[in-house]
Chains A and B, each alone.
Chain A
Amino acid sequence: MDIRAQISMVFHLDKCIGCHTCSIACKNIWTDRKGAEYMWWNNVETKPGTGYPHRWEDQEDYQGGWILNGGEIELKGTGKKRLLKNIFHNSTLPVLDDYYEPWTYTYSDLFDSPQGDDQPVARPYSMVTGEYMDVKAGPNWDDDLGGSELYAKNDVNYDALTSAEREDLHHLQKMVMMYLPRICNHCQNPACLASCPSGAIYKRGEDGVVLINQEKCRAWRMCVTGCPYKKTYYNWQSGKSEKCVLCYPRLEAGEAPACMHSCVGRIRYIGVLLYDKDKIEGIIHQDEKQLIQAQKEAIVDPFDPEVIKAAQDCGVSTHMIESAQKSPVYKWVKEWNLALPLHAEYRTVPMLFYVPPLLPVMGNISHNLYDNNGDQFFTSIDDCRLPIKYLASLFSCGDESLVRDVLKKLMAVRVHRREVTTGDISRSQADDALSQAGITAEEAEAIYKLSSLCTFDQRFVIPASHREEAIEMTKMVLEHKGEVGFGFKEDPERI
């Protein structure tokens, strides 16, 4: 066993209200710079929809991630074999128009215009070229737009649905949408890292955060193609690639990443998972159907004395182990089996997990009358407005049973709480729902608490990173005092 610690995340999609506060918090801290205007390390997309960049899930086009080729794992569009072909011109690189051209407005015209017959207006202009432009696309142009011909219809996950099912999602009264907030998954088998010819990208041993060394990046731009989630971005001004850093300076100071800290829906959880590094090789070679199961098996029980012993032998700090024991992520992912990775079929072993949304049908319009679905208060999950097939395409490599198991549990928790609070459901009905979902009333209660009543400290369990000890190795602590900070030692100028 080679036990390592990984800071991992869970996003509870039932709670996301699509407010984009997370994106703005991130933008303000990290990407409000020249060359990075178009970047949204954190973005929230509306699904069904095409996402950002446009149709990023279409790997036939973007060629990201890993594939199994005759039992061997290889990078789909990058890697050693394809370097010479790709390096002078990378045919699968998403370009500015695949994201959107960032713009702002001539606000000063509102104040400085000479007096005239018309109201002055602020005109949009490009933040790249400075020229006036007609704004035609943005990072969340289809915000809240279920059923759209242009966006929802072009959702890559529609491939999993029959045409009748697709049509269904575009009927006026059946339209549906959900939010999908996305950041870098800080994967255990990162394809961006493996694609980087310069070796500028690395995974931190202590906590698994994936970072790009700006000093070593040479703009070969293979990571942008390599990452199937399109979460590495090329800065056109500095000539360097950038990505979500999981706010590591904040993490090291014991604070939650800005997107998580600011999340209005409180959908985000962060905590440590201990995993067995030796098993990663096995996971990525698994058949698609077994991928998620294998990934979960590699995550080990932080209470198991054998694991604790092994972790200590592998140099995982005591703080790390303690914090793995308190980790909310462990509960969601392992204990309750409620959280699933996004598009595990890309084989990067992503460490951001999602609790899929329930979207129950509470009522239907029939004969122009609103009908509250008969006697059962909570409808059967197969009547979910968003087809299970669709969710399975996102979260379980197409395996509907995995999603159904999760939804059953989520539903059972609701039934159970309904019985407890209003009592208009009988206890036997509630117990029935619980046993069908395979959880006990205590578990349901715990899930309910961590979903709805969770405090700040329950959502964010961040281990001490002991940078002070790391500094001691290289310099006198007192000398270092007052020097701490991050950023460039030199101006990040182009030549």
Chain B
Amino acid sequence: MSQFLFGVFPYIASVLAVVITIYEYRRNSFHFSSISSQFLEGRKLFWGSIPWHYGVLTVLLGHLLAFLFPSAYIAFAKVPMRLLILEVISLVCGFMAFLGLVMLFKRRMLDSRINIITTNFDISLLLLLLIQVASGVGVALFYRWGSSWYASAVVPYLRSLWVLDPEISYIANMPFVVKLHVFNSFLIVAIIPFTRLMHFLVAPVHYFWRPYQIVIWNWSRRKIRKADQQ
């Protein structure tokens, strides 16, 4: 069972996500959108979206850094004060994300205008994210110090996945909440191409490099213009 959940499923999920996402992007990039609902309801969205995004992006960044540089991370967090600060920051962001999500979920369920554009995928996504964040915050609260053994135990597991040699012994004896957190994260990866989660894949970073104005020429006359001459 563990073998499947932690040794096989992550691959199914990732391959599914990558293949379908690329296929969708090429076939029908119309589907890539944050599908903002602010137009129909703005106030509650503020109290949901802002804490959620700032919270979750910070936490994700922490996960990513520890995944990329585990030993540097462990060395950094050796000093208790630093560890404490890291834990407090991630916990605060975790709570922000959690409260934001609850707000978003309530809004999806209760607001009559939002209701009509809410799909089952929207709700499933929010539920999965709720489980994810709740289990994450739970780990941080009850299994001190989560950030350290994430770097020392879970990261090796994730890296073993990455090199196609899954070593599930790292994870097999973990408490249930941790297992839930890990498994659920792959579930979320799997549903990326079916939900609005695709929006973070098309986050508009190229905006910062492009000139403000864009001109597109329909036909051959553009050939006599130099490419930089917009």
Instruction: Provide the bound-state CA to CA distance between A88 and B37, in Å.
Output: 11
Q: Does B107 contact A (CB under 8 A)?
A: no
| Best-surrounded residue of B32, B33, B113, B115 (most CB of chain A within 10 A) | B33
Instruction: Provide the bound-state CA to CA distance between A95 and B40, in Å.
Output: 6
| Best-surrounded residue of B28, B29, B38, B121 (most CB of chain A within 10 A) | B38
Q: Does A482 contact B (CB under 8 A)?
A: no
Taking the closest CB of chain A, its distance from the CB of B79, in whole angstroms, is 31
Taking the closest CB of chain A, its distance from the CB of B152, in whole angstroms, is 33
Please tell me if the beta carbons of B207 and A95 are within 8 angstroms of each other in the complex.
no
Instruction: Provide the bound-state CA to CA distance between A234 and B40, in Å.
Output: 10
Please name all residues of chain B whose beta carbon is closer than 8 Å to the beta carbon of A80 when the two chains form the complex: 207-208
Please tell me if the beta carbons of A89 and B34 are within 8 angstroms of each other in the complex.
no
Instruction: Provide the bound-state CA to CA distance between A130 and B112, in Å.
Output: 10
Please tell me if the beta carbons of B117 and A221 are within 8 angstroms of each other in the complex.
no
Q: Does B4 contact A (CB under 8 A)?
A: no
Name which residue of chain B comes closest to A474, CB basis. Answer: B219
Q: Does A138 contact B (CB under 8 A)?
A: no
Q: Does A83 contact B (CB under 8 A)?
A: yes
Instruction: Provide the bound-state CA to CA distance between A306 and B28, in Å.
Output: 47
Q: Does B106 contact A (CB under 8 A)?
A: no
Q: Does B195 contact A (CB under 8 A)?
A: yes
Which residue of A129, A193, A219, A490 contacts B214 across the interface (Cβ within 8 Å)? A193
Which residue of B34, B121, B216 contacts A202 across the interface (Cβ within 8 Å)? B216
Please name all residues of chain B whose beta carbon is closer than 8 Å to the beta carbon of A79 when the two chains form the complex: 212
Q: Does A117 contact B (CB under 8 A)?
A: no
Instruction: Provide the bound-state CA to CA distance between A83 and B207, in Å.
Output: 9
Please tell me if the beta carbons of B220 and A198 are within 8 angstroms of each other in the complex.
no
Chain B's interface size range is 35 or more
With A129-B112, A131-B112, A219-B35 as known contacts, state yes or no: A490 contacts B219, CB within 8 Å.
Answer: no
Please name all residues of chain B whose beta carbon is closer than 8 Å to the beta carbon of A221 when the two chains form the complex: 36, 38-39
> Main SS of the interface on chain A?
loop
Instruction: Provide the bound-state CA to CA distance between A493 and B30, in Å.
Output: 8
Cross-chain pair count, CB within 8 angstroms: 149
Instruction: Provide the bound-state CA to CA distance between A93 and B36, in Å.
Output: 11
Please tell me if the beta carbons of A96 and B40 are within 8 angstroms of each other in the complex.
yes
Please tell me if the beta carbons of A214 and B45 are within 8 angstroms of each other in the complex.
no
Instruction: Provide the bound-state CA to CA distance between A240 and B36, in Å.
Output: 9
Instruction: Provide the bound-state CA to CA distance between A69 and B224, in Å.
Output: 36
- What is the size, in residues, of chain A's interface with B at 8 Å between Cβ atoms? 58
Please tell me if the beta carbons of A206 and B34 are within 8 angstroms of each other in the complex.
no
Please name all residues of chain B whose beta carbon is closer than 8 Å to the beta carbon of A203 when the two chains form the complex: 213-216
Please tell me if the beta carbons of B30 and A214 are within 8 angstroms of each other in the complex.
yes
Please tell me if the beta carbons of A219 and B33 are within 8 angstroms of each other in the complex.
yes
Instruction: Provide the bound-state CA to CA distance between A473 and B204, in Å.
Output: 31
Please tell me if the beta carbons of A205 and B222 are within 8 angstroms of each other in the complex.
yes
| Best-surrounded residue of A89, A221, A314 (most CB of chain B within 10 A) | A89
Taking the closest CB of chain B, its distance from the CB of A232, in whole angstroms, is 12
Q: Does A236 contact B (CB under 8 A)?
A: yes
Taking the closest CB of chain A, its distance from the CB of B182, in whole angstroms, is 26
Q: Does B179 contact A (CB under 8 A)?
A: no
Please tell me if the beta carbons of A236 and B31 are within 8 angstroms of each other in the complex.
no
Q: Does A51 contact B (CB under 8 A)?
A: no
Q: Does A128 contact B (CB under 8 A)?
A: yes
Name which residue of chain B comes closest to A317, CB basis. Answer: B221
Name which residue of chain A comes closest to B206, CB basis. Answer: A199
Which residue of B37, B41, B202 contacts A218 across the interface (Cβ within 8 Å)? B202
Please tell me if the beta carbons of A205 and B116 are within 8 angstroms of each other in the complex.
no
Please tell me if the beta carbons of A194 and B212 are within 8 angstroms of each other in the complex.
yes
Taking the closest CB of chain A, its distance from the CB of B109, in whole angstroms, is 15
Please tell me if the beta carbons of B42 and A95 are within 8 angstroms of each other in the complex.
yes
Q: Which of B100-157 contact A (CB under 8 A)?
A: 112-113, 115-117, 119, 121
Please name all residues of chain A whose beta carbon is closer than 8 Å to the beta carbon of B113 when the two chains form the complex: 96, 128-129
Please tell me if the beta carbons of B204 and A198 are within 8 angstroms of each other in the complex.
yes
Please tell me if the beta carbons of B221 and A89 are within 8 angstroms of each other in the complex.
no
Please tell me if the beta carbons of A128 and B219 are within 8 angstroms of each other in the complex.
no
With A96-B113, A239-B36, A495-B195 as known contacts, state yes or no: A189 contacts B213, CB within 8 Å.
Answer: yes
Name which residue of chain B comes closest to A85, CB basis. Answer: B50
Please name all residues of chain A whose beta carbon is closer than 8 Å to the beta carbon of B29 when the two chains form the complex: 215-216
Please tell me if the beta carbons of A205 and B216 are within 8 angstroms of each other in the complex.
yes
Please name all residues of chain B whose beta carbon is closer than 8 Å to the beta carbon of A239 when the two chains form the complex: 33-36
Q: Does B196 contact A (CB under 8 A)?
A: yes
| Best-surrounded residue of B53, B210, B219, B225 (most CB of chain A within 10 A) | B219
Q: Does B63 contact A (CB under 8 A)?
A: no
Residues of B within 8 A of A (CB): 27-42, 45-46, 49-50, 52-54, 112-113, 115-117, 119, 121, 194-196, 198-199, 202, 204, 206-208, 210, 212-222, 224-225, 229
Which 5 residue pairs of A and B lie closest in terms of their CB atoms, listed nearest first?
Answer: A197-B204, A315-B221, A239-B35, A205-B217, A470-B219
Contacts A216-B29, A469-B219 aside, 9 further interface pairs with beta carbons under 8 A come to A89-B42, A128-B113, A129-B112, A199-B207, A202-B215, A204-B215, A204-B218, A218-B199, A466-B219
10 contacts between A and B (CB under 8 A): A80-B208, A95-B41, A128-B113, A193-B213, A203-B213, A203-B215, A214-B30, A219-B35, A469-B219, A493-B31
